[in-house]
Structure 1
Amino acid sequence: MPHPRQARGFTLIELLLFIAVVGIALAAMLRVFVTATLAGADPLIRRQQLAIAESLLREVQLMPFTACDPDDEQAETGSCASLPEAPGPEAGESRYGPAYFDNVNDYAGFSMAGIRDPGGAAVPGLAGYTASIAVAAAALDSLPAAEALQITVTVTGPDGSPLVLQGWRTRHAPNATS
């Protein structure tokens, strides 16, 4: 009588070990997919934050940087009748008018909840964003702090994530307005 072949296959322990390893691998892969899916909308928010921050930084950098208030008749000569330009807007000045910001320093401490254009109109679709601007004197390479301003724009998206963008504004001549 021929000897029956021994049955070949997996033991119960091998099968349980295989199921455990495959389960752990699948759980790790699913975590990657879930993270990628949840972050799918983030690039849109991030790009919008960057666009807002760049726009505000450009707006501030294009303002005059004078030793005294640009409304002072002697601002061009440097022998100002007014006090040196201090951080923050002068009385009555606003980004939205009727007396508009007229110097880089006027933007120090500015913030807005819901993005508005320079005319004060709310920009559609950007109500969930906030923005703030800090302007501080800071030395830049060989320039003393009195001749350079560091501008920091922080934009927070609807998801609470902040984006910080920094730039500089220098005074090209002691009393230059641009």
Structure 2
Amino acid sequence: MCVNRQNWRRFGVTQVKYQLGVTQAKHQLGVTLVELVVFMVIVSVALVGVLKVLEITNKGSTDPLVRKQAISIAESLLLEVEQQPFTLCDPDDANAATAITTADCTGGAAVSQDKGGADFTSPTPNTESRYSATNPLDNVADYGGFTMPDANCAGICSPGDNTPLLGLGAYTASVTITRVGAAAPFAAFPLSAVLQIAVRVTGPANTDVTLTGYRVRYAPNI
């Protein structure tokens, strides 16, 4: 094939253009700085989302156990209070089974379980203790203001025993007793004839549980 100088020049120019096109194509196979930054931002956002899911999953795997334990403590303490007598006089009072008003109690209204209408913040008499075998709490109203831990129990303790239960050192419990008669849904009863029992238990991971129960005094000896 005969290639003159003019054709060779044309051929050479075509080759150069071709090589430049290949070089430019090779350069275009990479990514720009802007694309790289956008990619890093997207990956970072996705990674934060994944870590958040892992955090929630990890927290959710432990919190139910803590909350279940708090509920168990609250249920046990609420049942303990609800099973106590609800009398106008102290159950040890000779007139406890027959008293119709607090004045019928030995010693009068001042030593009655109703505390003369004052708030329930301590047992009556105040010598009673949940941990005493000879002088225990023996009335629903006696539990007003009760807390664990306290001076007699360094943790969560069983009735009649001030030895803290193992594994419950991070929990606290308290009892609030209030009169709720003379108002709906207990409007038909006198104010002091219905007591609300609120048991609150707190624990690790901001656990906070409150259970509420009621006792109605429908006869002198109950």
**Taking structure 2 as the reference length, what is the TM-score of the superposition?**
0.70
Q: Aligned-pair distance for 1:127?
A: 2.3
Aligned to 1:138: 180
Structure ranking higher on relative contact order (CA contacts 8 Å, 6+ apart): 1
**Taking structure 1 as the reference length, what is the TM-score of the superposition?**
0.85
Aligned counterparts of 1:110 and 1:133: Cα–Cα separation in 2: 5
Aligned to 1:168: 214
| Identity among equivalent pairs (%) | 41
1:71-90 equivalences in 2 (<5 Å):
71-78=92-99, 79-81=104-106, 82-83=108-109, 84-85=112-113, 86=115, 87=120, 88-89=122-123, 90=125
Q: Deviation digits for residues 36-90 of structure 1, max 9, x if unmatched?
A: 2144322211111100000000000111111222222222222333423123211
Q: Which moved more, 1:97-106 or 1:25-34?
A: 25-34
Aligned counterparts of 1:44 and 1:32: Cα–Cα separation in 2: 19
Aligned residue identity for 1:137: R
Aligned to 2:142: 106
Unaligned runs of 5+ in 2: 1-13, 150-154
Which has more strand, going by share of residues? 1
Aligned counterparts of 2:38 and 2:202: Cα–Cα separation in 1: 48
Aligned residue identity for 1:134: T
Quick one: structure 1 residues 34 and 160, their matched pair in 2 at CA, closer, same or farther if it must change by over 3 Å? closer
Q: Aligned-pair distance for 1:34?
A: 1.8
2:88 aligned to which of 54, 60, 67: 67
> Which of 1 and 2 has greater Rg?
2
1:153 aligned to which of 172, 192, 199: 199
Aligned to 2:49: 28
Aligned counterparts of 2:87 and 2:37: Cα–Cα separation in 1: 77
Aligned counterparts of 1:127 and 1:15: Cα–Cα separation in 2: 53
Aligned counterparts of 1:153 and 1:33: Cα–Cα separation in 2: 34
1:129 aligned to which of 166, 171, 177: 171
Match of 1:133, SS state, is strand
8 Å CA contact 2:70, 2:207 repeated in 1:
no
Aligned length: 176
Q: Aligned-pair distance for 1:136?
A: 1.0
